[in-house]
Structure 1
């Protein structure tokens, strides 16, 4: 009789979140669980079933992104039992899953698969997570049209937040961003929709950095030259936020606050007050939470000693 061994795999995945109701499974129930094609976790589990393991694959996400949020490099782990007692080759998992998602036209890609120790947990062992929010500032006077009629590059739709304004002080925004770094109680920046309003809300933000960004493509091929806004009319900025963990919609509300500072709607002192007096009552109502489509999970970082245990093939290490 063949002795079946459990093997645990770490998957690095990317996805476009526009068509998903979030990363975490929403269809619940006892085993065997119903398929959940509306979430990233559900789609991953459906793809893993195509490998015909003798157990029902249960994917554990390292980060639970909201509906509409994208991921450039997220992680998850899964335990698989193979019927012949052999291990699945990590590279085989990557190839088979990507073939499945391509055939089903699902916007998920597996970047890399590792064989990992049985006690490794993709979420609990994560050292930090880095998010990116993409901004494009459009000058209304440069476009010479009403703000709601400006020409947005179609390749950037649902990938970036466009702000049409003549008032945007990036230097003031950068100065205010440093207020978020360090240990703070971010209750003010946690959306009211959190399912656990009594949870601990103190977090350490390692880094908030704002750098000049780039468009996804050159607009010179998108519009005739006589009607194309020049690249100088769009100023892209990338806002990076790194921490060990985040509260519900924390990053989006932090970015919204910084945008409000840049536009002169609030001051750095207002942000400082929201951090020093953590309460939903101190949130300034004219700060509007930025939409999900500009947010990307960039990376989930693990300690070097953990990474040293990952194996990407049956023969050896990385």
Structure 2
């Protein structure tokens, strides 16, 4: 029997899951864990009837409620016949299982990769997207009652009001970019106290546009259309600390709202400590966050194979 490693590009909606990483401890046989993305992938792979217990390795461990537009994972599979599963067969099998079980995970692509390839260690860049929608209205109650686009429910963070300085937000983003000790921006977690907290935050890009909702539907005559300001916040780094992205976005939002100053941001970076986190900065909700890309070097990508031929 020959072992073959497979790299899967996946997307998912995080709301029904306790997180990407399995919560049920592994054993022999490997117990099912339907409450996590990793657990569901392993359950679907069992339908291929491999000789081994499928054990997924994730490139990024997103928290409960966080979505993924494009993430990656790898798995080793042994087949009784000694042959290799065609990558397309793996994709089709998993997507049929997810569709049948009404599970919001999709496999975008499956590749054959060298047996020493590791999806997490080989990643050169990760990009997260945070979606923020500002409802521009003189009547702050109307947008929350009538105008929140239904397609963005639990998909974006809403801010209702007019006191939001996007230019200050962009200034704060430039301060946070670069090489810093981000201990202030890391939530406390068991086992993370001694973790190295210096990181290079490659880029924070804030894209903005004004619309009257995403859907092209006609408003009822008794409702006045509400203008929305859409902000897509893209944050790039090779790796992130625990809840660093949500804390970074929360800091940018607090600056835009006038709750903290640029001087406060400098202090948080220059004095990296748990005590430097400002209590007026409230952690943003997980449902606005998406893992949008995991990038590999061109040399590694050149080794990905789409078929067994």
Q: Flag the 1:114–1:228 CA change in 2: closer, same or farther, 3 A.
A: farther
Report the equivalent of 2:24. Answer: 27
Q: Cα deviation per residue 1:72-108 (whole Å; 9 max; x = unaligned)? A: 0000000000111100000111111101100010000
Distance 2:145 2:239 in 1: 38
Distance 2:210 2:126 in 1: 22
Report whether the alignment pairs 1:209 with 2:243.
Answer: no
Contact 2:203 / 2:235 at 8 angstroms: preserved in 1? yes
Report the equivalent of 1:92. Answer: 89
Q: Cα deviation per residue 1:223-278 (whole Å; 9 max; x = unaligned)? A: 41431523xx2100000000010011100000000011111111111111101100
- TM-fit CA distance, 1:182: 1.2
Give the alignment partner of residue 103 of structure 1, picking from 88, 100, 118: 100
Distance 2:191 2:223 in 1: 48
* Larger CA deviation: 68-77 vs 181-190: 181-190
Distance 2:218 2:280 in 1: 35
- TM-fit CA distance, 1:14: 0.2
Distance 2:31 2:8 in 1: 22
Distance 1:225 1:75 in 2: 46
Contact 1:14 / 1:74 at 8 angstroms: preserved in 2? yes
Report whether the alignment pairs 1:128 with 2:122.
Answer: no
Q: Flag the 1:40–1:244 CA change in 2: closer, same or farther, 3 A.
A: same
Distance 1:197 1:78 in 2: 30
Secondary structure in structure 1 of the residue aligned to 2:303: coil
Alignment of 1:91-170 (within 5 A): 91-141=88-138, 143=139, 145=141, 149=145, 151-170=147-166
Report the equivalent of 1:41. Answer: 38
Q: Flag the 1:216–1:301 CA change in 2: closer, same or farther, 3 A.
A: farther
Task: Give unpaired runs (5+ residues) of structure 1.
Answer: none
Report the equivalent of 2:278. Answer: 284
What TM-score results when the alignment is normalised by the length of structure 2? 0.96
- TM-fit CA distance, 1:181: 1.3
Distance 2:28 2:211 in 1: 45
Q: CA RMSD of the aligned region, Å?
A: 1.7
Task: Give unpaired runs (5+ residues) of structure 2.
Answer: none
- TM-fit CA distance, 1:145: 3.0
- TM-fit CA distance, 1:165: 1.9
* Larger CA deviation: 260-269 vs 48-57: 260-269
Report the equivalent of 1:70. Answer: 67
Report the equivalent of 1:9. Answer: 6
Contact 2:212 / 2:228 at 8 angstroms: preserved in 1? no
Q: Flag the 1:76–1:265 CA change in 2: closer, same or farther, 3 A.
A: same
Runs of 4+ with deviation above 4 angstroms: 213-217
Q: Flag the 1:293–1:194 CA change in 2: closer, same or farther, 3 A.
A: farther
What TM-score results when the alignment is normalised by the length of structure 1? 0.93
Distance 1:209 1:241 in 2: 7
Report whether the alignment pairs 1:218 with 2:236.
Answer: no
State the number of aligned residues.
309
- TM-fit CA distance, 1:221: 1.8
Contact 1:155 / 1:217 at 8 angstroms: preserved in 2? no
